[in-house]
Structure 1
Amino acid sequence: MSIFSGVWIPLVTPFNNGEIDHAALKELVRHYVEAGVSGFVALGTTGEPASLTDQEQDAVVWTVLDAAGDIPVIVGVSGNNTQAVCERATVFDDTPVAGLLISAPYYIRPSQAGLIGHFTAIANVCKKPIVLYDIPARTGVQLELETLLLLSQHERIVAVKDCGGIPDKTLGLIRDGGLKVLCGEDLEMFGALCCGASGTISASAHLCADQFVAMFNAIREERLADAREIWHELVPLVQVMFAEPNPGPVKAALSLRGHIRNELRAPMTLVSDDLVCRLSGWWSLPRA
């Protein structure tokens, strides 16, 4: 089985008075290892990488690698300058990193030909497997199905984090089989997994990670009734985790549980008092 399957956590970056809280980050990773997750994403969107310097990013990666042990870790590497992304990607060539999560160039909205050239250039120079990150809501550009299928022919492009929001495209990717499909839209994960997606990269799984793992295992073992029961319990949690911009709700919930401080870097802001109240009353909040 490919390592790019199961439940992956796109880790938050904890802060303490403006500095990265590496001790809290280590404890989070160890907690999720015990919960049975399949892998971690360091410096994904949920990790606020745009607010970190390259030195801080490198330090986060090494903290996660150290705490994760044998659990695979992929690293988010993004930008809108192809050469700069190529240079950044090769930094991880001789590290234990299991792969790179790379989004389409943001803001400039290149053509599909430009996207193919961008990802191919990166795949040609780096040594690590690449997970394409299709998230048009943040980048402003869609990776079309034909583009993804073409990119899947490159030996180092092996998976996609699918946040495209187009069911026909998701099904097309699953049916083709050239890329492992990791669902990145939390409310769509159950349907995607039932249709054959290999896994999920889920910010919501910061909470009740063991239940997300149990749901995935039930689907894999074709215990659909059990999986559906777990999913129905998780849906309200998923909904509240995205009631305000990510990772605000996740950090607020983890803070209420005592895992981290409720702190983000500008321009991200803390969630509203109303959402804190909703999180405080959440039925599963006392769970570790």
Structure 2
Amino acid sequence: MGQFVDFSGLWIPLVTPFQGEGVDVSALSRLVDHLARSPITGFVPCGSTGEAESLSHEEQLAVLDTVLASCRDKPVVMGLAGVRLQDLLRQMNEIVRRPVAGLLISPPQYLRPAQAGIVAHFRALADASPVPVVVYDIPARTGAMLSLETLLTLAEHPNIRALKDCGGDEEKTRALIADGRLAVLAGDDARIFNTACLGGAGAIAAAGHLLPGHFARLVSSARAGRLEEARQLHHMLTPLAHALFAEPNPSVFKAVLARQGWMSDTLRLPHSPASVEAVQRTWAALERAERVRLP
């Protein structure tokens, strides 16, 4: 069930550029082509950084098609989020007609189901998917907590292969890495070093938009045991990661990327633009991090 995908390395959860009322596919194409030239593993469009819940299904497919056309054959894991199972299965059927490497799926938001319901939900989606499933554990957004026992149960499914770990529980992270069945990917950008040193597979890190080579090197050096190099990168990049997430994601990202000329600083309500102070702090952290010379 599902093809083999090596989830190790650095994946970029893409922002979605807007122009007026629509998706700016030209800006997205340029950004993806630029990032694809760096040593990242692949892309994750239509996650929380991509404002997926603010996009129509047609817009989500347009984003996916743009990324696939511009990714230089790097793998693409598509975000799939929602509440109603039948709607998700219908969306999945359209997505997997395209050459996606996997699906990033979070538990249903707002409903706060029991753990047994979450397990049944993921199993139904994984059973139906011809590509591997990456579980997205992000209780701060969904309101659904995935217990260690639930994640270990999901790991039994042959088509559930990886975890984007935004759960904020270091012991749960350690236990899942020790178990070894799921490729554990740091979803909190400031925890890349910790996760990789514990034996995690890598990261799905939005901060990689700005310094993809540095963040990819952080992952590879930590996983390879080059700890002095990894520590140096971690200490220089963590202030940037904190600054980028000081206000609701992706407001600061879009402001900084707009300042670099990649897109307009446009978000959809209920998101609002980042404050001037947050952008200034992030820009200063970026300039400091850029001074790190990679071996």
TM-score category of the 2 structures, normalised to the smaller one: over 0.9
CA contact (8 A) 2:239 2:285 kept: no
For the pair 1:29 / 2:32, whether they are aligned, the reply is yes
Name segments (4+ residues, structure 1) moved above 6 Å.
Answer: none
Question: Could you tell me which amino acid in structure 1 is paired with residue 59 of structure 2?
Answer: E
- 1: distance between equivalents of 2:101 and 2:157? 17
- The 1:96–1:223 alpha-carbon spacing in structure 2 relative to 1, beyond 3 Å, is same
- The 1:247–1:215 alpha-carbon spacing in structure 2 relative to 1, beyond 3 Å, is same
- 1: distance between equivalents of 2:279 and 2:164? 29
Secondary structure of residue in 1 paired with 2:104: strand
Query: Aligned-pair distance for 1:7?
Result: 0.5
Give deviations 1:237-257, integer Å, cap 9, x for gaps.
011001100000111111111
Question: Could you tell me which amino acid in structure 1 is paired with residue 134 of structure 2?
Answer: V
Match of 1:110 in 2: 113
Secondary structure of residue in 2 paired with 1:69: coil
- 2: distance between equivalents of 1:286 and 1:192? 21
Give deviations 1:48-93, integer Å, cap 9, x for gaps.
0111111111000000011112210011101111222122122222
Query: Aligned-pair distance for 1:286?
Result: 11
Question: In structure 2, which of residues 223, 232, 237 is the aligned counterpart of residue 234 of structure 1?
Answer: 237
Match of 1:196 in 2: 199
Unaligned 5+ segments in structure 2 are 291-295
Unaligned 5+ segments in structure 1 are none
Match of 1:16 in 2: 19
Question: In structure 2, which of residues 73, 76, 82 is the aligned counterpart of residue 73 of structure 1?
Answer: 76
TM (normalized to structure 2)? 0.94
Query: Aligned-pair distance for 1:117?
Result: 0.6
Match of 2:91 in 1: 88
Give the share of equivalent positions with the same residue, in percent. Answer: 45
CA contact (8 A) 2:166 2:187 kept: yes
- 2: distance between equivalents of 1:62 and 1:108? 31
> What is the correspondence of 1:1-288 to structure 2 with a 5 Å cutoff?
2-284=5-287
- 2: distance between equivalents of 1:168 and 1:220? 19
CA contact (8 A) 1:183 1:192 kept: yes
Query: Aligned-pair distance for 1:94?
Result: 2.4
CA contact (8 A) 1:256 1:280 kept: no
Query: Aligned-pair distance for 1:208?
Result: 0.9
- 1: distance between equivalents of 2:25 and 2:45? 13
Question: Could you tell me which amino acid in structure 2 is paired with residue 28 of structure 1?
Answer: L
Query: Aligned-pair distance for 1:284?
Result: 2.1
CA contact (8 A) 1:3 1:72 kept: no
Q: Which moved more, 1:219-228 or 1:55-64?
A: 219-228
CA contact (8 A) 1:90 1:127 kept: no
CA contact (8 A) 1:43 1:75 kept: yes
- 1: distance between equivalents of 2:198 and 2:289? 33
Query: Aligned-pair distance for 1:30?
Result: 1.3
Query: Aligned-pair distance for 1:285?
Result: 8.2
Secondary structure of residue in 1 paired with 2:109: coil
CA contact (8 A) 1:257 1:286 kept: no
Give deviations 1:228-273, integer Å, cap 9, x for gaps.
1111111110110011000001111111111111110111000012
Question: Could you tell me which amino acid in structure 2 is paired with residue 118 of structure 1?
Answer: H
CA contact (8 A) 2:240 2:286 kept: no
Question: Could you tell me which amino acid in structure 2 is paired with residue 109 of structure 1?
Answer: R
How many residue pairs get aligned? The number is: 287
CA contact (8 A) 2:240 2:282 kept: no
- The 1:14–1:93 alpha-carbon spacing in structure 2 relative to 1, beyond 3 Å, is same
- 2: distance between equivalents of 1:175 and 1:286? 32
